[in-house]
């Protein structure tokens, strides 16, 4: 059984928590400050983490934020235990990415109940010991459509915000439509750093620090990398640098949701190759159907397995056979995809 990690600078709290959690019969690992807590988390692979807020080096909110940036801690339950009990303190805990919050002094029974609930939930959720479906194992979700204006970017942003609401700080959205990126605008966020800021890094030089400098954050807990203002700015971003960036992002986040350009350009192909799931967006018009069919044909030629794809439609879309069924008042079968052996994935 994996241990529970307690990060607190007061030895008395180690004893109080250990006593409260005795009925769980979990091993406990202790850390006396924030930095040691992060090290212990990496070493001990805990099933849950309990952290104090006020500590001599970095506080519990920062510990939580730093751990959540590492993909292996994206789904590990974190409970913030603190003497601060105001609403703002509770909100800060959740904003930092914690799953729960408990004020000190605490009742042993309440701490036990909360930690038990967190452990149960994490065992059932992504990364838990439960049987994960292919969609739950998915990491990079590439949203693709050969036709513009079908709602791809809207879907990407909503999907990102939705995932971030379920698992705070787990998700980064990549705006790869370098010619007319809208993600930052849709998130109502100022365009400070974009992919263009990575162009000065040569292949092999791009590291996590450089990448983090272009990641924007949204109040929902979603992270994003925006497309540059001018298409020409992204041209300098090399193929190798982009591949490295995708790899680093996949290691850091639980979900990477990419808004692909409406073509098979180099950048689209790289993202499609790295994708665990390709989500195609179609709208109810012949041009979109034709574009979807052409894309599916190309995926087959590229050797992508059917299990990687899914089709979503934006707004009142149904296939001719379903149209007839709908007119006759018959219910459509659930989860119907286009006739390509694909099924909806999320």
Task: Return the residue of 59, 66, 122, 153 that touches ligand ATP, per CB under 6 A.
Answer: 153
If phi > 0 it is left, if psi is from -120 to 50 it is alpha, else beta; for residue 169 that is: left
Angstrom distance (rounded) from CA 272 to CA 249: 15
Q: Which two tokens stand for residue 33?
A: 């400050």
Site for ligand ATP in 315-334 (CB under 6 A): 315
Q: Residue 161 Cβ, how far from Mg ion at the closest point, in Å?
A: 16
- Tokens 């790289």 sit at which residue? 270
Cβ-based nearer residue to Mg ion, 116 or 265: 265
A 10 A CB-CB count for 248 gives 16
Cβ-based nearer residue to Mg ion, 56 or 149: 149
Count of residues of this chain found to bind ligand ATP when the rule CB under 6 A is applied:
14
Residue nearest to Mg ion (CB): 153
Stretch that binds ligand ATP, among 132-140, 142-150, 213-221, 232-240 (CB under 6 A): 142-150
- Tokens 């006020």 sit at which residue? 54
β-strands 171-175, 140-144 pairing: unpaired
Angstrom distance (rounded) from CA 111 to CA 21: 8
Per-residue interface string for the shown chain with ligand ATP, residues 167-206, x marking contact by CB under 6 A: ----------x--x-x------------------------
Site for Mg ion in 152-211 (CB under 5 A): 152-153
Which residues have a Cβ under 8 Å from the Cβ of 203 and sit 6 or more positions away?
Answer: 238, 240, 241, 244
Cβ-based nearer residue to Mg ion, 189 or 343: 189
Q: Residue 343 Cβ, how far from ligand ATP at the closest point, in Å?
A: 20
Q: Residue 159 Cβ, how far from Mg ion at the closest point, in Å?
A: 13
Out of ligand ATP, Mg ion, none, which partner does residue 252 contact, by CB within 5 to 8 A per kind? none
Q: Which sign does the torsion angle of CA 212, 217, 221, 222 carry?
A: negative
Q: Residue 158 Cβ, how far from Mg ion at the closest point, in Å?
A: 13
Cβ-based nearer residue to Mg ion, 75 or 144: 144
Per-residue interface string for the shown chain with ligand ATP, residues 216-255, x marking contact by CB under 6 A: ----------------------------------------
Cβ-based nearer residue to ligand ATP, 128 or 231: 231
Q: At CB < 8 A and 24+ separation, what contacts does 243-246 make? A: 243/270, 243/274, 244/203, 244/204, 244/206, 245/198, 245/206, 245/211, 246/140, 246/270, 246/271, 246/274
Task: Return the residue of 103, 233, 293, 314 that touches ligand ATP, per CB under 6 A.
Answer: 314
Cβ-based nearer residue to Mg ion, 154 or 233: 154
Q: Residue 153 Cβ, how far from Mg ion at the closest point, in Å?
A: 3
Site for Mg ion in 129-158 (CB under 5 A): 152-153
Is the Cβ–Cβ distance between 203 and 241 less than 8 Å? yes
Out of Mg ion, ligand ATP, none, which partner does residue 171 contact, by CB within 5 to 8 A per kind? none
Residue 292 makes contact with ligand ATP by CB under 6 A: no
- Tokens 């694909």 sit at which residue? 342
Task: Return the residue of 32, 66, 71, 152 that touches ligand ATP, per CB under 6 A.
Answer: 152
User: What are phi and psi for residue 134, nearest 5 degrees?
Assistant: -55, -40
Rounded to 10°, the helix 286-302/266-274 angle is 70
List Cα–Cα distances, 336 to 151, 238, 330, 340, 344, in angstroms: 19, 39, 14, 11, 7
Out of Mg ion, ligand ATP, none, which partner does residue 151 contact, by CB within 5 to 8 A per kind? ligand ATP
Angstrom distance (rounded) from CA 267 to CA 278: 15
Site for ligand ATP in 21-80 (CB under 6 A): none
Angstrom distance (rounded) from CA 260 to CA 305: 19
**Which positions lie near ligand ATP, rule CB under 6 A?**
145, 148-154, 177, 180, 182, 262, 314-315
């Amino acid at each position: 059984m994996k241990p529970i990690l307690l990060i607190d600078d007061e030895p008395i709290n180690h004893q109080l928590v250990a006593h409260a959690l005795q009925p769980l019969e979990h091993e406990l690992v202790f850390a006396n400050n924030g930095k040691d807590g992060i090290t212990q988390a990496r070493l001990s692979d805990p099933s849950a983490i309990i952290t104090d807020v006020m500590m001599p080096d970095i506080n519990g909110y920062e510990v939580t934020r730093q751990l959540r940036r590492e993909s292996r801690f994206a789904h590990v339950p974190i409970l913030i235990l603190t003497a601060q009990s105001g609403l703002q303190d509770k909100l800060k805990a959740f904003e930092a990415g914690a799953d729960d919050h408990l004020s000190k002094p605490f009742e042993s029974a309440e701490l036990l109940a909360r930690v038990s609930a967190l452990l149960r939930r994490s065992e059932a959720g992504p990364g838990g010991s439960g049987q994960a479906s292919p969609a739950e194992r998915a990491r990079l979700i590439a949203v693709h459509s050969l036709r513009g204006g079908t709602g791809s970017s809207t879907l990407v942003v909503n999907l990102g915000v939705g995932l971030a609401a379920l698992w705070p700080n787990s998700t980064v959205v990549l705006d790869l439509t370098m010619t007319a990126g809208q993600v930052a605008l849709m998130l109502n966020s100022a365009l400070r750093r974009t992919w263009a800021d990575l162009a000065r890094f040569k292949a092999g030089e791009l590291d996590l620090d450089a990448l983090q400098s272009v990641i924007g954050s949204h109040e929902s807990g979603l992270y994003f990398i925006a497309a540059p203002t001018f298409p020409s700015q992204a041209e300098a971003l090399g193929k190798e640098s982009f591949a490295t960036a995708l790899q680093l992002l996949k290691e850091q986040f639980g979900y990477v949701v990419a808004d692909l350009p409406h073509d098979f350009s180099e950048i689209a192909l790289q993202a499609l190759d790295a994708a665990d799931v390709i989500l195609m967006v179609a709208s109810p018009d012949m041009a979109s159907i034709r574009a979807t069919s052409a894309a599916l044909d190309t995926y087959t030629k590229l050797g992508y397995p059917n299990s990687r794809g899914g089709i979503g439609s934006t707004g009142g879309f149904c296939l001719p056979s379903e149209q007839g069924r709908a007119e006759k008042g018959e219910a459509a079968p659930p989860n119907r995809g286009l006739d390509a052996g694909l099924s909806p994935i999320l």
